[in-house]
Amino acid sequence: MSMYEYSFIPADDMDFVPTPEKIERLQTLLEPYSTHFSVKAGGRREFFGSGFMYEGIRCPLCGQEIDEIWWVKELERISEQNGFEDMRILTPCCAHPSSLDKLTYPWPAGFARFSVKLGTDDEPDFDNGPAERLLPEIEQTVGRRMKLIVEKY
């Protein structure tokens, strides 16, 4: 059986971290929805992706699919070097200066210091599932537009 994890991260500011009061309100909001949730605030940036739903990352300039092995190595290298503080890369296809966060990901993905995670065994309903219904409440609680990322393991 597959396990799904819903991650909510800031949509447009990877360094945003809500106040401790907002985080406390967020935890109160989440308790009735799931016993499998976590809130991470601060520290190093992390990458949030689709897990096994990988379908190909593309170069933002030429559109060519980027080799998955190259991408994983770059992700690990940059994480180890500087915790994703400086994500500059040269794309392997056309040697275009870019950044890991500027690549074209087929599923929602991103980097963030703040995240909310909910775990479930239920297959996602991308139109009207519990995570999609919860998204506006999370956004209102933290005061920031959020991105929903579905990870499958």
Output the tens digit of pLDDT for each of the chain's 153 residues.
557 788 999 999 999 999 999 999 999 998 887 767 889 998 999 999 887 666 789 999 999 999 999 999 999 999 999 999 999 999 999 999 999 999 999 889 999 999 999 877 666 555 566 778 889 999 999 999 999 998 876
**Best CA proximity match to 96, nearest among 57, 61, 56:** 61
3-class SS of residue 59: coil
The CA-atom distances, in angstroms, between 34 and each of 37, 39, 68, 131 are 6, 13, 33, 11
Domains and CATH numbers, the chain: 1-53+109-153 (3.30.70), 55-106 (no CATH)
Host H or E run for residue 81:
helix 68-82
CA gap 107, 111 in Å, rounded = 14
Q: What is the pLDDT of residues 131-149, one digit of tens each?
A: 788 899 999 999 999 999 9
Map residue 132 onto helix, strand or coil. helix
Rounded CA separation 153/143 (Å): 30
- The dihedrals phi and psi of 89, each to the nearest 5 degrees, come to -145, 165
